Amino acid sequence: MKAKLLTSLAILLFSALSTHAQITQGKYLLGGSIIYSNTQDDQNGTPHQEYFGSNIQIGNVFKENTVAGVILSYSHTNNSPISTSDHYGAGVFYRKYKPLVKDLVFFGEADAVYTYTKNIQGKFVIGSEGSRFKGNGAMISFVPGLSYAVFKKLQVELSMPNIASISYSKGKTESTYTNGTDVVTSKSNSFSANANLNANLLGNFAIGFKFLLGK
């Protein structure tokens, strides 16, 4: 009798813990980041490198423990006066949660993202040394991780964003040279598949935050 009672209590406790960790239907998932850095040149005080990066992830919990949504990103790098670069990204994601214990869940996320990049190196003018690159591509990746509910609407995440991906890209580079009289054009394309299961796996963790909004 005592054993049955203990077993029943254990089942009820586990059920309560798992239920508390559910990502319920009707909520909205919101996450993102903004990064800005400006490294000064110690010799004359002019900007040596300036970087701005942002990304936004918005999703809808359309089914219990299941989220689908969009990803948007943009970054700009200015290595004055050597180079400037802009990177744009837009895509979709699908995330599935698996409750473990109270407030802790495991998740697996699949991302599909389109990217566009442009950069200029040197002085891109006929008669000078410089180049201009424009390219676009697509990437599909898998991101596993753990999410812990610090508060009712705030979750801290530990993820592994570089564990597996497939990508394709193509681009065009236009170059000018000091003794040249016209623009030299070259094209490139590449395909890659990556599964990061080597000894550096533990160095690929990322920490982030997500908000769960709604009732």
> pLDDT for 114-144, tens place per residue?
999 999 999 999 999 999 999 999 999 999 9
| pLDDT > 90? residue 161 | no
- Vertex 203 angle, CA 146 and 145, to 5°: 15
> pLDDT for 200-211, tens place per residue?
555 678 899 999
Residue 82 structure tokens: 């050597």
- Vertex 140 angle, CA 138 and 141, to 5°: 135
- Assign 10 a pLDDT band (cuts: 50, 70, 90): very low
pLDDT of residue 38: 87
Domains of the chain, start order: 2-213 (2.40.160.20)
Query: What SS3 state is found at 81?
Result: coil
- What stretches of the chain adopt beta strand conformation (E)? 28-40, 47-63, 66-79, 83-101, 104-122, 130-151, 154-159, 164-176, 184-195, 206-213
> pLDDT for 28-47, tens place per residue?
999 998 999 888 766 665 65
Dihedral Cα 93, 99, 104, 108, nearest 10 deg: -30
pLDDT of residue 198: 63
* Of 88-92, 121-125, 171-175, minimum mean pLDDT range: 121-125
Residue that wins the pLDDT comparison between 190 and 196: 190
